[in-house]
Amino acid sequence: MHAGHVTFALQAIKAANLDKVYFLPERRPRAKQNVEHFGHRVAMLNRALQPHPRLKVLEMVDISFSVEKTLPRLRKEFGKSQLVFLFGSDVVPNLHDWPKSEKLLAGNELVVGLRHKTKREDLHRIIENWPVQPKVVTVFPSYAPEVSSGRIREALRLRKKVPGVLKSVERYSDNNWLYVSLA
């Protein structure tokens, strides 16, 4: 959890007129290595989001998320509320390759934060070529496009300062000896 996540969520609330943003940590993220135990990650999320009443953590039972299993659970959790999914622009190019992605895209809204050197035009071109279109797509430049979880974990492991580290996460990590054994 880092400043990029928080600023993106706060930007999304404003840009897409959202009531709340829920963070859904995966128990076993399939695309990341060297992550700490789920309980520690949830604790860090809760501490980081505490100053922001419109940002919440939603824990789900799924070990890894899938459109087929997780989307129905979200619909049950939120009833008739409009679901809006937030993604960094680095996720968008492969989103249509996800199993059952058409169910995720159809009738739902996407909010995309531009990261790194992603150009808005390139992103729109990718989305326009999807066989199923989302209901609405909101795109905006991220305030922290270069902040990455990998760099944050490495900085915490080395006990170095790097932009984007949240003080609450750094304190929790230090107090619980997190990331020290990661190589």
> What's the pLDDT score for residue 181?
64
Q: Which residues pair with 113 in a beta bridge?
A: 88, 140
Q: How large is the average pLDDT for residues 17-40? A: 88
The verdict on residue 123 lying in a domain is yes
> What's the pLDDT score for residue 35?
77
> What's the pLDDT score for residue 183?
52
pLDDT > 70: percent of the chain: 98
The verdict on residue 130 lying in a domain is yes
110 SS3 class: strand
> Does the structure show a pLDDT above 70 at 29?
yes
Q: How far apart are CA 142 and CA 114, in angstroms?
A: 5
pTM across the whole model? 0.90
> Does the structure show a pLDDT above 80 at 16?
yes
The verdict on residue 137 lying in a domain is yes
| Secondary structure letter of residue 37 according to DSSP | P
The verdict on residue 182 lying in a domain is no
Q: Which letter, b or e, does each residue of 106-116 get, where b requires 16 or more Cβ atoms within 10 Å of its Cβ?
A: eebbbbbbbbe
Q: Are 115 and 93 in contact (CB under 8 A)?
A: no
The verdict on residue 167 lying in a domain is yes
Question: How many domains, the chain?
Answer: 1
> Does the structure show a pLDDT above 60 at 150?
yes
CA angle, 150 then 168 then 35, to 5°: 30
The verdict on residue 56 lying in a domain is yes
The chain-wide mean pLDDT, for the chain, equals: 91
Over the stretch 121-146, which tens digit does the pLDDT of each residue have? Answer: 999 999 999 999 999 999 999 888 78
Q: Are 24 and 58 in contact (CB under 8 A)?
A: yes
Q: How large is the average pLDDT for residues 165-170? A: 92
Closest CA to 64 of 38, 35, 29: 29
Over the stretch 50-104, which tens digit does the pLDDT of each residue have? Answer: 999 999 999 999 889 999 999 999 999 999 899 999 999 999 999 999 999 999 9
Contacting residues for 126 by C-beta, under 8 A, at least 6 apart: 92, 93
Q: Which residues pair with 111 in a beta bridge?
A: 86, 138
Q: Which domain range does residue 156 map to?
A: 3-175
Q: Which residue has the higher pLDDT, 1 or 6?
A: 6
The verdict on residue 86 lying in a domain is yes
The verdict on residue 26 lying in a domain is yes
Q: How far apart are CA 19 and CA 110, in angstroms?
A: 15
Q: What is the CATH number of the domain that holds 86?
A: 3.40.50.620
Contacting residues for 120 by C-beta, under 8 A, at least 6 apart: 114, 139
